[in-house]
Homo-oligomer: A and B are copies of this chain.
Amino acid sequence: MKYDTKFDNESLLVAESVLTTANGYLGVRGNFEEGYGEGLESIRGTYLNGFYDIVDVTYGENAYGFPQTAQKMLNVIDGQTIRISVGGDVFSMDSGKILSMKRSLNLEAGYAARSIHWQSPKNHEIIIDIRRMTSFKTKELLMIDYNVRSIGYNGPLTIESTIDGNVRNYTRAGDPRVASGHGQLLEITSAFTDIQTGILTAKTTRSGLEMACMMLHDIPMQLFIEDNTITATRTLQLDDNDECHFTKYVVYTDSLRHDHIIDSGLDIIGMVADKGRVYWYNRQQHYLDDFWKYAKVDIEGDDSVQEAIDFSCYQLLACAGKEPYSNMAAKGLTGEGYEGHYFWDTEIYAIPFFTLTEPEVAKNLLTFRHRTLDQARIRAVELGHKKGAKIPWRTISGSECSGYFPAACAQYHINADVAYANIQYYLFHKDLDFMMTISYPVIFETARLWMDTGHYGPDGMFRIDDVTGPDEYTAIVNNNYYTNAMAKYHLMWAVKLATVLEEYDMDGWNRLCDELDISTNELYSMKQAAEAMYLPYDQAHGISLMDDSFMLKKDWDFDGTPKDHHPLLLYYHPLAIYRHKVLKQADTVLAHFLLDNEKGSVMKRSYDYYERYTTHDSSLSYCIYGMMASKVGYPEKALHYFNKNIRLDLDNLHHNTKDGLHLANAGGVYMNLVYGFMGLRIKEDGLYLAPTKPTCWNSLTIRFRYKGTLLTLSIANDIVIESQEPVTLYLYGTSYNVKDRPLHVPVATKTIS
Contact = CB atoms under 8 A, between A and B. Distances in A.
Nearest to A474: B466
A87 interface: no
Contacts of A570: 64
A457 interface: yes
Given A60-B59, A382-B573, A573-B64, A463 B552 contact: yes
A734 interface: no
Given A383-B573, A552-B478, A579-B453, A62 B466 contact: no
A492 B276 CA distance: 84
Contacts of A408: 61
Given A59-B404, A465-B549, A571 B453 contact: no
A70 interface: yes
A634 interface: no
B61 A176 contact: yes
A404 B576 CA distance: 15
Given A59-B60, A552-B457, A552-B478, A578 B176 contact: no
Interface residues of A, number: 54
Most buried by B among A403, A465, A572: A465
Nearest to A552: B457
A569 B63 contact: yes
Contacts of A548: 548-549, 552
A180 interface: yes
A284 interface: no
Contacts of A572: 64-65, 384
Contact of A402 (B57, B60, B65, B573): B60
A575 interface: yes
Chain A contact surface mostly: loop
Contact of A410 (B59, B62, B575): B575
A475 interface: yes
Interface in A470-515: 475-476, 478
Given A478-B549, A552-B458, A578-B476, A63 B573 contact: yes
Contact of A61 (B404, B466, B478): B404
B573 A466 contact: no
A67 interface: yes
Given A457-B552, A552-B478, A61 B402 contact: yes
B61 A58 contact: no
Contacts of A206: none
A66 interface: yes
A525 to B, nearest CB: 15
A552 B572 CA distance: 31
B575 A64 contact: no
B455 A63 contact: no
Q: For A383, A549, A579, which residue has the most chain B Cβ atoms within 10 angstroms?
A: A579
A405 interface: yes
Contact of A569 (B64, B383, B455): B64
Interface string A532-564: 000000000000000011011110000000000
A410 B476 CA distance: 13
A560 to B, nearest CB: 9
Output the residue of A57, A59, A408 with the most chain B CB within 10 A.
A59
Contact of A60 (B382, B404, B465, B579): B404
A553 B465 contact: yes
26 contacts: A59-B404, A60-B66, A61-B176, A62-B180, A64-B569, A64-B573, A64-B574, A65-B572, A65-B573, A66-B573, A383-B573, A384-B572, A384-B576, A385-B576, A405-B573, A409-B573, A410-B575, A458-B552, A465-B579, A466-B579, A467-B575, A476-B575, A476-B578, A478-B552, A548-B548, A548-B549
Interface of A: 57-67, 70, 174, 176, 180, 382-385, 402-406, 408-410, 453, 455, 457-458, 463, 465-467, 475-476, 478, 548-549, 551-554, 569-576, 578-579
Ranked 8 nearest A-B pairs via Cβ? A60-B403, A384-B576, A65-B573, A466-B579, A61-B404, A455-B554, A57-B60, A61-B403
